[in-house]
Structure formats: C-alpha cells, structure tokens
Structure 1
Amino acid sequence: MKEKTLLIVNIFLGIVAVLLFLNLMHIRFPSAGKALAALDPAEPVCIVSYRGEHGMVEDIPQCCFDVQKLRACKRVIDEVVVGETAKSVDWSCYVRDTEDALHYLINQKTAAYCKNEGFRIP
C-alpha cells in the first residue's frame, strides 16, 4: 500500500515538474474559457446596425472596445444579411433599445473573445 502511495506522489510530482519547466520556458496553454472559445468553429461576427442598415466590423478588438462602452446587451438569436451574406448573431448591444439607435450585433464567439481579452461586456 505504501509503495502505491509513493508511486502516485512521484507521478504527481513529475507532472508538476513538467508544468513548472514549461512555465519557465514561457509556454502558455489556453485557459478553460479560451479552450471553449477555440472549440467553437464559428467565425467571430461583429455587425453595426443603424436604422436597418448593416455593416461588418472586421477589427474584433475594436468591436470589443466599442461594445464595452454601451449600456446593455440582450440575447437575440437571429440572422442578419450583410451585403449578400447571412450572418448568425446571438447578442444585440446598445445604448437605447430603439430602432433609431446604434446597435452592435455580435455572435457568441465574439462575446467569448471579448470576455477572455478582459473587456467588460454589458
């Protein structure tokens, strides 16, 4: 019984030693949140909508910066046509929830990216 306990402790210490060595070499592994975001096969989507007109925001970090300045986000599961392409969106973020207000429409992949990068999504 004692030999089995020592074997388990030695294996555990070996794993800790490997992880410490990798940390010393500055090798980073994704956290659980980033791993879940990496498993999502969808492309990040950020669409600006104003009075029925839609435009894509290609710079996702800039989209995150703009979205965190807004007052609220609500869950919407919808498809928005931008140009000739339909994009799935999961969130609508806004200052005022009216037709004549600016809305940012993002999907779950974009929301997860923003949160993992430290942006405060309302």
Structure 2
Amino acid sequence: MFSERRYAIFNVALILAAVLLALNLFNIHLPSVGQAQSFFDTEEPSCLVDWQGEQTQWYDLDSCCLQARKQLSCEPEVGGWDCGAGSDTVHYVLNDKAYRYCQRQSFWP
C-alpha cells in the first residue's frame, strides 16, 4: 500500500512529536524561533510587586527583572511567573512577556 520510504518519514514525524510532547510533560520549554513568540503575544510586559497580598505595578521593567533575579526561585503560575524567596517576603509577579524579556538580560542565565 505505502512504500517503505513513506513509513520511515511517518515514523520520524511520530518520534519527533513524541519527543516534543515528552518535553512538554516535564515542563521543559524550548527556545522560540526568532521573535515569533513575542510577536504573537500582544500583551504589554507587566511586573507587579506583591507584599503581603497587596500588589503594586512596577513600571521600570529592567529594575524589576534585576530584583526578580535576586529571588531564590521563579515558579510558573497561571498567566505568569512568581519570583520570591519565601512566604513572608516580597514577591515579583511577571507576566509571560515580561519574563521572556528578563530572560534575555545579561544577568539572567
């Protein structure tokens, strides 16, 4: 019915799809190609400073990135990232576009 060449191409495509799904399962993100991800994300970069439940917008994104990087961890949340050092400390809440911007800075490995 099909040639062996078609089966080989189909198998390679399935293996590639399985690898990508496995990476997604373990929350491993591959870098985007070019600026496509930023181009389609029309949301403005946003940084919120959260202190004991009170959130304040911080408009200096470079300073926010630096302070967020100083925290112990940045954990993914629904719609963004929460960077903090514990439960009773200041947290920096970044949306996805701001987090990608911060990752491109020289101080963010």
**In which range does the TM-score fall when normalised by the shorter chain?**
0.5 to 0.7
Query: % of aligned pairs identical?
Result: 32
* Residue number in structure 1 paired with 2:101: 113
Alignment of 1:24-39 (within 5 A): 32-39=33-40
RCO comparison, higher one (Cα < 8 Å, 6+): 1
Structure 1 gaps of 5+ residues are 1-30, 78-88
Cα distance in structure 2, aligned partners of 1:105 and 1:117: 17
- Structure 1 residue runs of 4+, over 4 Å off? none
CA contact (8 A) 1:48 1:103 kept: yes
More strand, by proportion? 1
Instruction: Report the RMSD for the aligned CA atoms in angstroms.
Output: 1.9
Question: What TM-score do the two structures reach when normalised by structure 2?
Answer: 0.63
User: Which of 1 and 2 has greater Rg?
Assistant: 1
2:80 is aligned, of 90, 113, 116, to: 90
* Residue number in structure 2 paired with 1:101: 89
Cα distance in structure 2, aligned partners of 1:65 and 1:44: 15
Give the drift of 1:117. 2.7
CA contact (8 A) 1:70 1:94 kept: yes
Q: Cα 1:72–1:55, aligned 2, differ >3 Å: closer, same or farther?
A: same
Cα distance in structure 2, aligned partners of 1:90 and 1:38: 17
Q: Secondary structure at the match of 2:77?
A: strand
* Residue number in structure 2 paired with 1:50: 51
